Amino acid sequence: MNAWMMLGLAIVAEVIGTTALKASENFTRLGPSLVVVLGYGVAFYCLSLVLRSIPVGVAYAIWSGLGIVLITLVAYLVYDQRIDLAGLIGMGLIVAGVVVLNLFSKSSVH
């Protein structure tokens, strides 16, 4: 599997784990707690494979940036958590940073 696809899988697994973290209610619910452990396990395993070909700084910037945006979207859809205008602007800047990193940085592997 291509490194970028693996990074996408790592991000999705981390978002699933983080979503389940809230549902686990401080690890007092077994099902969501198992999803947390599995989600983070898959996420970190995939990320470790990604680091064979994508620099750690680039991979982590993409991982964290897209993870923030996706978990905020999931929190809105699943838990009805709202974000204000400043939060939306901040996330827009994060996405812009990820785009700039991928399109213009010589550090990024294409």
Give the whole-angstrom CA distance, residue 64 versus residue 94.
9
Query: What pTM, to 2 d.p., does this model score?
Result: 0.85
For 9, 38, 46, 47, 48, the CA distances from 41, given in Å and listed in that order, are 12, 5, 9, 10, 11
Tens digit of pLDDT for each residue in 41-93? 999 999 999 999 998 988 988 898 899 999 999 999 999 999 999 999 998 99
Two tokens, residue 6: 């693996």
What is the CA angle 41-60-37, rounded to 5?
A: 15
> Residue 108's pLDDT is what?
59
> Does 110 have pLDDT greater than 60?
no
Neighbours of 100 (CB within 10 A): 11
